Each structure stands twice: as C-alpha cells, then as structure tokens.
Amino acid sequence: MGQDAPEPRPSCREDNPTPRGRRHRQRPLNRVPLLSLVVVILMAVAPSPSHAITDLGEFCFNFNGSSDTIRAEAQTSANIVTLNFRWRLANAYEVVGAGTATASMLVPGSFSLGLVGTHGTSFFGGNRICSLFATLNPPTFSGSFFVQCAGTPVPFVMAGTINQVACVAAMSPETLEEGRGPGLGE
C-alpha cells in the first residue's frame, strides 16, 4: 500500500472529455478502399469510348470574284467534322489554321463552316488573325461567307459567295503559281 495507484486514463466519453492539447493517436487509413473509390469515380467520369476518327480526305473551296483557294483536310468523329486548312493566293499570302463543319441548327439542311487562321503578311489590312463563317448548301456546298480579320484598330471585313471545287495540283501545298485574279486580302 505504500505505492500510489496509477491514475486511470481519461476516456473519450462525454462525461470525461480529453483535456485540450492532448493528441489522439489515429488509426492508419486503409488505402485499398480509398484507391478503389478513386478508380470507381474516375471510371464514372471518364469519356465513353467514342467513334473512331475517320479521315474524310481533302476538300477545296474558292470565292466568287477572287483567285483565293482554301484546301482543307477533314476528319470526323460523331457528328462534327474537324478541318486543318491552308488558304492561299498564289505566292502573295497564306492563312493557316483549323476549323469545324457541322449540320446547321439555324438553317436546316445546310452546313455551318467555321475557320480561324493566321498569317504573317501585310494583307487583310495588316490584320493577322482571320475568321471565316460560311453556310454551305447541298448538293453543291456553295453558300454565303463572312470574313473578319482582326489585329489593328480597323478590322478587315468581307462577305460573298464560297464554292466547293475539285482539288487540283495548283492548290496543293507544294505549288505556288501566280494567281489569275485579285485576292480577297488585297
């Protein structure tokens, strides 16, 4: 009886709370359920397998009243066609960029074509970023277009008619022949 009995450990019950400042030892977290939860969440938000990308080949366009040509390589996945394009006037200028074509929701039975590109020349009023929007009507895939190029205080703006044409060697990336008429950007 000469020894004092050890003081009992305080419990975590409400009637006997742990004094402030005292640290509780936490159990190690079991990582397997946590990892499984992360995998399930990632599988739920991951995109579903989509249709494979299909190469549609090359498409070429020109504009009424000009010698400009657009040569585009098209690919599709689901209902949207993606385009990489080169818009050229002989050896004067070349606009390169990308765009999209899709069935028009505003003009049923038609297709909307949107292209955005850039160039490094003084054409288009010195505006180096150009966008084109066109409504293409089957079966000829011709229609109205609107071009706006930005970059200076005065943007370059033009509208007219765009036509799908057969791609020929003169439109190929390797050929820089002289144009036969004025260009849109002049």
Cβ atoms of residues 111 and 132 within 8 Å: no
- Whether residue 176 is predicted with pLDDT greater than 60 in this model: the reply is no
pTM: 0.65
Q: Which two tokens stand for residue 19?
A: 């004094």
CA 51/CA 41 separation, integer angstroms: 23
Confidence of residue 159 (pLDDT cuts 50, 70, 90): very high
Quick one: CA torsion of 158, 161, 164, 167, rounded to 10 degrees?
Answer: -50
The total number of residues shown for the chain amounts to: 186
- What local confidence, expressed as pLDDT, does residue 178 receive? 41
Residue ranges per structural domain of the chain: 54-171
- Whether residue 120 is predicted with pLDDT greater than 60 in this model: the reply is yes
Residues ≥6 apart with Cβ < 8 Å to 146: 132, 133, 134, 157, 158, 159
Confidence of residue 77 (pLDDT cuts 50, 70, 90): confident
Q: What is the mean pLDDT of residues 114-138?
A: 95
pLDDT above 70 covers a percentage of the chain that reads: 63
| Domain 54-171: CATH class, spelled out | mainly beta
